[in-house]
Each structure stands twice: as C-alpha cells, then as structure tokens.
Structure 1
Amino acid sequence: MSEWKEVSLSELGKTITGKTPSSQYPEDFGDEVPFITPSDSFEKKYISRPERYLSRLGSDRLKDKIISSDSIMVTCIGSAMGKVAKNSLPSVTNQQINSIIVNENFDSDYIYYLFKNNYAVFRNAASGSTAIPILNKTDFDNLRFKVELDLNQQRKMVSILSKIDDKIEINNQINQELEAMAKTLYDYWFVQFDFPDQNGKPYKSSGGKMVYHPELKREIPEGWGVDSLWNIANFYNGLAMQKYRPDTNEDDYLPVIKIREMMNGFSKDTEKARLDIPTEAIVERGDILFSWSATLEVIIWGKERGALNQHIFKVTSDTYPKSFIYFELKSYLKVFKAIAELRKTTMGHITQDHLKQAKIVVPPIDLISKLDAKLQPIMLKQQMLENQNQELTQLRDWLLPMLMNGQVKVE
C-alpha cells in the first residue's frame, strides 16, 4: 500500500565521504579497486570503468571508505555539484563525493532516481565562504526528501526508468562493438596494408610491392602518398560562446558543446547560445569533433544540433570521406596525447603546427572510397543507435519527475 513521508537523507542509509590516498604513498594507486572522482562520467547510471584505480594496498589503507556495489554516489563540490551515479563494483571515491549505502527499507534504484529528480536540492544546499560551492557531510545528511515507504511501490515506480536506462546501456555496448569492428577493418586495410589486391588477396601478405619512405622511416605500399593531417582536412575551432548568450531565457537557443558535452552529452548545466552564431560553429549529427586542449579525444557527434565552443575542432574535408578523416585522427590520437602530456606545465594541448607535422600515409582515393563503402553501413547503424538513445533519454527525463513525485502510478 502506497504511503508517503518526508525523511532526512540520513534515514535512507549510511553516508560515506570518500578520501584520496596520501601523496606519501604513490603505491596506493594501481589497477585493482575503482577510484571514482567527479571527473568520471556521472551522466551514465553506472560507473564501471573510472579513469583511476587503487592497488589492493591502497584500498586496504582506506578500508573504512570502501562502498559496496550499487551504492549511490553524489558529487558535492563545484560545477559538478549534485550529479548522481551508481557503482557496479566495490569502490573508493575521493572526498568530493558523498555516497549512500542504501538500507534495507529502500530500493537502491529508487534512491538513485529520487536523487536524480532532486538535482536542484543538492545544488541549492551548497554553502561556503569560497567561490567554490561545497556540500559537507552534515548538511548532506540533513537534506529532506518526500519518499514512498512501500518497497514494492518503489520498485514499480522505477521499473520503467530502469528498463529505459538498461536499453540505453545495451545500445552503448553495441556501438562500442561496432566501433571496434570498423577500426579492425580499417587497420587491416590501411595500417597492416592487407587491402584486397587486384586478385582479391591481402596485398602485403601476398607479396605486394612495398617501398621505403624516408620521412616516415618505414615501408608503405608502392604508389601511395604521404601528407599531413592539416592538409587533408579542414579544422574549424569553436568560439567563446559566452559572447553569444541569449538575451532572455525565453529566446530560442542552441545548446553549447564544450568538452564535457562532447564526451557525455547535454545536461541541465549545458550553456546556451543564440541562433545567429556563424554557420561554421553549428554542429550537426555526424560531424567529426576533435577536442585539442586538456582532454584530447575524437568522436563523431551523435546528438542534436549544437553550438561549438572553443578548444574543439569541427573537422571536415573537401576531398576525403568522413570515415578516412575520422580513423586517421583516431590513429594519431596517442601521439597527440603524448605531446600534450609534455606540455602540462601549462594546459596540455596541441597546436596547428602539430597538425602540420603529423604525417600520415594516404592511399589512392579509389581505395579509400572502396573502404568507405564498407564502413558506411556500420557508421550509419551507430548513428541510428545514438538517435535512439537520445529519444530514450528524453522519454526517461520526461517520466522521471512524474513517477518520483507520485503524479503517475505504475500498476
């Protein structure tokens, strides 16, 4: 039987504030126990592969900070305040995250969606004398929420939301497999040089003629060229979108694509830009984006139209198909990341000069087109799944407040 009551957060479970290992013990970091921070992807329901891990020694040193799987993690500092995710494995977080180990009276998915629906509560509760808002453990535990007490009703309420999130995650996994499939095919043709020769046999493995290229200091197929990434593509850098903010909240707008949005999609914190920005700064589905500062990554944008912020290139080409540009950038990314790492005394980034110095092997255009014809169906399927995920996300976000506030009941 449905019954609602207002309770404090501390009544929902045990709160654990995380901790970062001491710099005196670098051996505490390793590859065994997930170490989760606000920089990990809180846009997904589960964080299963964080950027960093602890060693077994490090987790033993912080054994009182370990949270069991299916705990609810809430970011409690700065611009990331109020983001919510669950952990799929026993983990440790840093001190900027408060986690709830949910007690037996509540379903953990229910508490996850309860917190997602009360994002503003966490944001508004932050305080502090500094410019960076902080939500400490005491204030965190004292927050109050209206909750459904009946456990069966809780599970009914969130079942549809969980199914939507499960479908989104399945689509993400399929897309990862499709990406790996496309890259394997690309590498086979243009990295291992085993594209089909005139007899349909693998070129290099079948004795195809290779010639030494002095600039690359390695052999490449006879007749192939060498050029720079800068010459084969157009790199348009985004704009400082704070100059293009809408005049009022009622104005139509484009969501701004910063590095955060590029990696995780749009959120409630996404900034807005006017519609009259330069055409070149508008990003459409299927555009190649290359973040060149701080976080270096290359993606094919799969979300709705947006406004391109500075520190991200939109990459196009007048000569070569998108698949060739995308995979050449992806292949060179590890070199760019090594360059950026050496520049971290400032902000790790790459420059136009690095793009001009980035030499790649360029196959004949007819061969590039043949491979593109094979890759297009894979990339199209990825785009379809991205579109489906966006629709599912919008549906979930529309249902969330109605279900969690009791406006809609699931029988």
Structure 2
Amino acid sequence: MVWNELLKREIPVGWNSLELQELCNINRGASPRPIDDFMDSTNTGIPWIKISDATEDIESPYLLTIRECIIPEGKNKSVSVKPDTLIVSNSATPGIPKFVEINACVHDGWLVLTNYESYLKYYLFYVIKMVRYNLLHLASGSIFKNLKTDYLKILPTLTPQKIILKKFDEKVKPIMKQILTMEKEIKELVKLRDTLLPLLMNGQVTLNSCLSQHHFHYFVKFNLWEVYVI
C-alpha cells in the first residue's frame, strides 16, 4: 500500500487515482424547449428518458421501460442514446447510474458517459454507484438538486491496473447479463400477469382454456399479490 495524495488514503501499489473524465467522456442530455410542444401524447414516438423512469426501481442497473415519448422533431434538440449506454442522473435524485436498453432521447437531467474502454463498462457503473451516497452526504441544503457536470468530470476515481480491470470485467459481465435477462423475463411475466389476472378473476377465461389457447406449458399459481409462471 502507498499513500495517494488525491484520495488522502493508502491504495495498492500500482493502482492510480484519475479524474473520471480521464476514463470516459461525460456530457449532459438536452431537452427540447418548450418541452410541452414536443411531447407525444400517443406514446408512439421516441422514448423520452426522465429521472422518474429511474426512481421507480433505483436498485436495478437497467432501464427497460420508458413512460413518455417525444415527437420525432424533438430528436435534434435532445441527445440520442442507443442500447447499452451508461447514463447518470444529475437532477432531482442525482447520482443514479443506469444502462439504457432501448433507443431513446435523454432529458437534460441526465449525464451521458461514452467513449470508454469496453472493460471499464461495469467498473464505471459500480464506481458511480459506490460514491453516490458519499456525494450526497457531502452536500448541504439544496446543492445536489443538480449535480454539476464538471464536478462529476473531476471526481477522483481509484483505478486498478488494466489486467485487474479486465479480470473484474470477466467476472462481472456474465452476472450483469443474467440480471438483464431476468429483468426482461420479469417484465414479460408481469405483462402476462396483468393481462390474465383480470380475465381470470371476472370469469372471462378459465385457466385451462387460457393455457390451451396459447399452447403454454406453465403451471400458474395465484396468491394475493402475484401470478407466478414457472
């Protein structure tokens, strides 16, 4: 272990302390103005990522469902992201990292992280997740209603050697992929539950006819809260 002046603590020999902007590009999202003129009431336009989409499930690493959309004309006035983009909330409830899993546009309440080495993908996510509460704890009053882009850019980031980062990525990648797969399955099961349960409860369909009609080979168990499809 050796003393690191920037972090004010000891770190392993060979590790480094870099500003976050040395590991990736950090840019702010953008909102078309006035926003009401660009909202799509039919929800068939371009998914529009807002902070509220993340706060519904803060612990999930992924954003799979977006509640609102903007019309195509708003795309050029916003910031577009593609699946697997890492974003971080910088307003309202700041410091939440998420991987976007759809093509969408990003509200100006988000920071977009790009241009990092592939093996840094999950490391960056967990670094931000780890320091989030420290950042909030250091803040006083209403400072962190908006997390300044420049502050995140200069955030001191403990950085192991490349070989360790690559080993970390090898270990974490299959776990994250499994989490994503399971979250997608849960989403489909919830959709199935919400479709079937009202029909079953009011007698419009029976369990046998439902299974027969859709050729499902599932065992469906009901309780007061959920429908499990196994």
TM-score norm. by structure 2 comes to: 0.71
> For residue 312 of structure 1, what is the aligned residue in structure 2?
110
3-state secondary structure, aligned to 1:300: strand
Which residue number in structure 1 is paired with residue 195 of structure 2? 398
Change (3 A) 1:301 1:361: closer
The yes-or-no answer on 1:256 pairing with 2:44 is no
AA aligned to 2:131 is Y
Verify the 8 A CA contact 1:288 1:300 in the aligned structure 2: yes
Rounded Cα–Cα distance in structure 2 between residues aligned with 1:221 and 1:347: 31
Q: 1:221 aligns with which of 4, 9, 12?
A: 12
Q: Offset of 1:348 from its aligned partner?
A: 2.2
Q: Deviations over 1:200-225 (max 9, x none)?
A: xxxxxxxxxx2222222222222322
List runs of 5+ in structure 2 lacking aligned partners: 57-63, 209-230
Matching residue of 1:78? none
Q: Could you tell me which amino acid in structure 2 is paired with residue 257 of structure 1?
A: I
RMSD (Å) for aligned C-alpha atoms: 2.9
1:371 and 2:145 correspond? no
- Does 2:127 match 1:328? yes
Does the residue aligned with 2:96 lie in a helix, a strand or coil?
Answer: strand
State how far apart, in whole Å, the 2-side matches of 1:266 and 1:229 are: 28
Is this contact kept in 2: 1:216–1:359, CA < 8 A? yes
User: Which of 232, 238, 248 is residue 29 of structure 2 equivalent to?
Assistant: 238
Change in CA separation of 1:253 and 1:283 when aligned onto 2, cut-off 3 Å: same
Q: Offset of 1:266 from its aligned partner?
A: 4.2
For 2:202 and 2:111, how far apart are their aligned partners in 1? 42
After superposition, the Cα gap between the structure-2 partners of 1:393 and 1:287, relative to the gap in structure 1 and judged at 3 Å, is farther
Residues 272, 302 of structure 1: CA spacing in aligned structure 2 closer, same or farther, 3 A cutoff?
closer
**Within 5 Å, which residues of 2 pair with 1:28-177?**
none
1:342 correspondence with 2:136 = no
CA-to-partner distance for each residue in 1:169-196, whole Å, 9 max, x for gaps?
Answer: xxxxxxxxxxxxxxxxxxxxxxxxxxxx
Deviations 1:56-90 (Å, cap 9, x if unpaired)?
xxxxxxxxxxxxxxxxxxxxxxxxxxxxxxxxxxx
Give the structure 1 partner of residue 61 of structure 2: none
Q: What TM-score comes out, normalization by structure 1 length?
A: 0.42
- Which digits, 9 at most, give the CA deviation of each residue in 1:282-322, with x for residues without a partner? 352x3323112121243433654443222122323433521
Alpha-carbon distance change, 392 to 304 in structure 1, aligned in 2, over 3 angstroms: farther
CA separation of 1:347 and 1:220: change in aligned 2, threshold 3 A = closer
- 1:324 alignment partner AA: Y
Query: Which residue pairs with 1:175 in the alignment?
Result: none
Q: Percent of aligned pairs with the same residue?
A: 26
Change (3 A) 1:329 1:282: same
Greater relative CO (CA pairs within 8 A, separation 6+): 2
Question: How many residues are paired up?
Answer: 195
Q: Distance in 1 between matches of 2:194 and 2:51?
A: 22
SS in 2 for 1:367: helix
